Structure 1
Amino acid sequence: MANFKLTISDKKGKSTSKELKDKEANVLIGLHIGNEVDAAVVGLDGKLKISGGSDKSGMPMRSDIYGTARKKVLISKGVGLKNVEKGQRRRRLIRGNTISEEIYQINCSYDGELKIEEAPAENKEKA
C-alpha cells in the first residue's frame, strides 16, 4: 500500500500539496524523474512533470542514479550536497530516480496555473 505526498508547483511560484493513498498512488509507482503523468490523478487538468522527491527517512532522489535503491555515491555538486568548496567531493547516501513504495514525498511541476484557496480572514477587531 503506497502513500505519497505530492508537492505541486506551477510556473508562477504557487504550490500546494495533496496526499495520494492506495489505488490512486499506484499510478505513480515505477515512474522516473522527468516523466509526465496526467494531472487528473490529483483532480487537475493538464500534465504533471515529476521533478524529484525524497524517501521516508529524508534521502533525496537524484535523477542520474538509476533504480529504486539507496546508494552511496561520490558527488561534487547537485541534489543531496550543500556548501562544498570547488574541487571537493563527498560520498552521500542518495535514493535512485524511480518511484517505489519507499518514497514519501514527490515534487511535481504543473503546466497550468494553480488556484489556491485562501483561508477566510479573521476579524481581529476588539470591541
Structure 2
Amino acid sequence: MANFKLTISDIKGKSLSKELKDSDANPLLGLELGNETDAAVVGLSGKLKLTGGSDKSGVPMRDDVHGSARKRVLLSKGVGLQDAEHGDRVRKLIRGNIISEEIYQINCKFDGELPVETPAEEPAAETEDKKE
C-alpha cells in the first residue's frame, strides 16, 4: 500500500503536485532515478523522468547510491550535503535510488508543458451579474 506525493515540473519551470495512492502508485514501485515512465499515471500524455525524492522522515534519495535502503555515505558534494567547504567530507544518511514503499515524495520532470488551470473566481462573478 504505497502513497506518493509527486512534484511534476515542466520545461517552462512550472510545477504541480499530485498525490497517488494504492493501485495508482504501484507502477512506480521498483523504478530507479533517471528512468522514464508513462505520464498516464498522473493523467497527462507524454513521459515523466524521475529526478529525485525523499522518504517519510525527509532523507533524500541519491542516484549514485544503489538499492532502496538507507545508508550512511561519505559525501564531498551533491545531493544531501549543504555548506561543504573545499576538501570537507561528511558522512550523511542517504536513501538509495530505487523507489520503494518507504518513499514519500518523488520529483519528476515532464517532457511537455503542463496544462493551465483556470482560477475558481469566474463562477462567483457570474452570480453577481445575475443579482443585478
Q: TM-score, normalised by structure 2?
A: 0.90
Rg larger in structure: 2
CA contact 1:46–1:111 (8 Å) conserved in 2: yes
> Deviation at 1:116?
3.3
Distance in structure 2 (CA, Å) of the matches to 1:116 and 1:5: 20
CA contact 1:54–1:61 (8 Å) conserved in 2: yes
Distance in structure 1 (CA, Å) of the matches to 2:70 and 2:119: 40
Deviation per CA, 1:4-32: give whole Å up to 9, x if none: 00000001100000000111101000000
Match of 1:43 in 2: 43
Instruction: List 4+ stretches of structure 1 deviating above 4 A.
Output: none
Compare the two structures and name the one with the higher helix fraction: 2
- Of all paired residues, the percent bearing the same amino acid is 71
Letter in 2 for 1:100: S
Structure 2 stretches lacking a partner, 5+ long: 125-132
Distance in structure 1 (CA, Å) of the matches to 2:75 and 2:116: 37
> Deviation at 1:57?
0.2
Deviation per CA, 1:49-103: give whole Å up to 9, x if none: 0000000000000000000000000000000000110010100000000000000
Q: TM-score, normalised by structure 1?
A: 0.93
Distance in structure 2 (CA, Å) of the matches to 1:79 and 1:93: 11
Match of 2:113 in 1: 113
Q: Partner of 1:27: helix, strand, or coil?
A: helix
> Deviation at 1:115?
1.5
Distance in structure 2 (CA, Å) of the matches to 1:65 and 1:3: 23
Match of 1:92 in 2: 92
> Deviation at 1:121?
4.9
Structure 1 stretches lacking a partner, 5+ long: none
Match of 1:30 in 2: 30
Match of 2:129 in 1: none
How many residue pairs get aligned? The number is 123
1:56-95 matches, within 5 Å, as 56-95=56-95
